[in-house]
Structure 1
Amino acid sequence: MAILCFIPFLMMLVNATRSNEAILSGFTLIPGSAIVENYQTMMSYINIWAGFKNSLIISVLVTLLSGYFSALTAYGFAFYVFKGKNAMFVFMLVMMMVPGQLGLIGFYELCKNLGILDTYIPLIIPAAASPFVVFFLRQYILTTLHPSLIEAARIDGASEFKIFHTIAIPIMMPAIATMSIFTFIGSWNNYIMPLVVLFSPEKFTLPVLMGFLKGSQVAQNLGSMYLGIAISVVPIMVAFLFLSKYIVNSISAGSIKE
């Protein structure tokens, strides 16, 4: 199964090095020698490295902000008692079921009135509030962090923020890393929102540039298309390779009770 899943990625990497005629003639595992021509053709229409940089900046900031503030919110929902907590949590779960595209027009008008169109603010700040990440982290910390540990830290004189940063965050780290993978991938592949709020070509993200690439004459050169897709997929593969071990840890947490 692992080999079958890897075959499309292998085809993408191999075809990125082949000419258009070679790709149309059939697939082979032997790399071609047209990678330089494919790269020059692609770069003649779009600056893929500028889009790569823009997407990387946005995705990293979204991942960091979403991980921290979602963990902070999940910790509050899990271990603090305050009025309206259950109603707020249910409301947040209901918001998970509403497609984001329904509020796209209203979000555009809001960004227009705030004067933040054609900036990265609409792509970073709203994405830091993720109901699903909060829900996942809350369920995780309830099974891994015992309230007596928090009480012991309070007795020792630790402040609430110190307890969160020194006790809760390390325990939640496997779950945060797991959610960071999906958050990074979702932000990296985000296409509709950057297309709506960004107007300057130098600020376009990689998915937007790839969309323009498909509508240009480069689409006739399959090798250039494969090369552009391969460049856009590499960060996702690297992030998954380095953080995938945390997925198993977060899934198995709480499965055994002593």
Structure 2
Amino acid sequence: MELSQNKKSFSINMVIIYILCILLALVSIVPFYIMFINATRSTPEIQSGLALLPSTHLLSNWNVLLDKSFNPFKGFLNSFIISGGTTLCAVYFSALTAYGLVAYNWKLRQPFFTFILCVMMIPAQASAIGFYKFMYQFGWTNNFLPLILPAIASPTVVFFMRQYLLATLSTEIVEASRIDGAGEFYSFNKIMMPIMMPAVATQAIFVFVASWNNLFTPLILLTQRDKYTLPIMVSLLRGDIYRTEFGSIYLGLSLTVLPLFVFYFLLSRYIIAGVALGGVKE
């Protein structure tokens, strides 16, 4: 009797959990769905209220984008170059730094990690003026390099990679590779990187999304129209004094979001394993 009651209560709890998960999924999906629907609607239709079915103004909204000098192909290419380069630099060099913090026992290891944690507390906006002046003196304004190279020093990614290595790294593997005569970089690239792939994929998603959506830094460094990223182009769509075409704005936002969905679904299977193992404490 008691066993059947336990099974019944367990079933009720599972039903409640599934209902909550479905509600949370709907809360997450509905804003994107409305954005895609509004991309097919005209400005008067959007201002009239919410709709759940697509309209017939997708082509006209696309023409409005092109009339406003919105070049989605150029913006996509610029954003992809910056986000791709940022992601590669961040995940590789952060993994290399984390490997040095875990695999080697050197005197200043803990103070160095403490310094990395302190850097995490500094917001990017606090150093924006100095960073712009520094890049201006280098002649790197209207250049993609200052948007890519700083990703080499990504304290948040280093912290995550270190936590992951603390849970997964076996020093016997490193010592065995050294005994076999493998160099340090060879051991890292051929042995450690495959082991760290779940963490690398997880952080690659986060870094790529953050770089793709970044508006602040590109806006202060890029002034030439042919260097604009998609977020900058979308932010300029509301520059019309007399009329704001909300349908074209939603279409521009949809074009900005679509690559993120593709990138996320390609690597999403690594997220649960990466976050679970990376969150292990010492």
Give the TM-score range, shorter chain.
over 0.9
Structure 1 residue 104 corresponds to structure 2 residue 128: yes
**How far does residue 21 in structure 1 lie from its aligned partner after superposition?**
2.2
Q: Distance in 2 between matches of 1:44 and 1:244?
A: 37
Aligned counterparts, 1:1-258, within 5 A: 1-45=24-68, 46-216=70-240, 220-253=244-277
What is the TM-score of this pair, normalised by structure 1? 0.94
Q: Distance in 2 between matches of 1:158 and 1:104?
A: 42
Q: Distance in 2 between matches of 1:117 and 1:255?
A: 38
Letter of the structure 2 residue corresponding to residue 213 of structure 1: L
Letter of the structure 1 residue corresponding to residue 161 of structure 2: L
Give 5+ residue unaligned stretches, structure 1.
Answer: none
Q: Is the 1:13–1:226 Cα contact (8 Å) retained in structure 2?
A: yes
Q: Distance in 2 between matches of 1:76 and 1:41?
A: 52
What is the TM-score of this pair, normalised by structure 2? 0.86
Q: Is the 1:213–1:219 Cα contact (8 Å) retained in structure 2?
A: no
Q: Distance in 2 between matches of 1:175 and 1:218?
A: 49
Q: Is the 2:78–2:229 Cα contact (8 Å) retained in structure 1?
A: yes
Letter of the structure 1 residue corresponding to residue 199 of structure 2: A
Q: Distance in 1 between matches of 2:274 and 2:32?
A: 27
Deviations 1:72-91 (A, max 9, x none): 11101111122322221111
Q: Distance in 1 between matches of 2:279 and 2:82?
A: 35
**How far does residue 219 in structure 1 lie from its aligned partner after superposition?**
6.3
Q: Is the 1:52–1:206 Cα contact (8 Å) retained in structure 2?
A: yes
**How far does residue 255 in structure 1 lie from its aligned partner after superposition?**
8.8
Larger radius of gyration: 2
Q: Is the 2:164–2:279 Cα contact (8 Å) retained in structure 1?
A: no
Q: Distance in 1 between matches of 2:173 and 2:162?
A: 17
Letter of the structure 1 residue corresponding to residue 220 of structure 2: V
Instruction: Compare 215-224 and 24-33 and name the one that shifted more.
Output: 215-224
User: CA distance change for structure 1 residues 209 and 92 in 2, over 3 Å: closer, same or farther?
Assistant: same
Q: Is the 2:103–2:171 Cα contact (8 Å) retained in structure 1?
A: yes
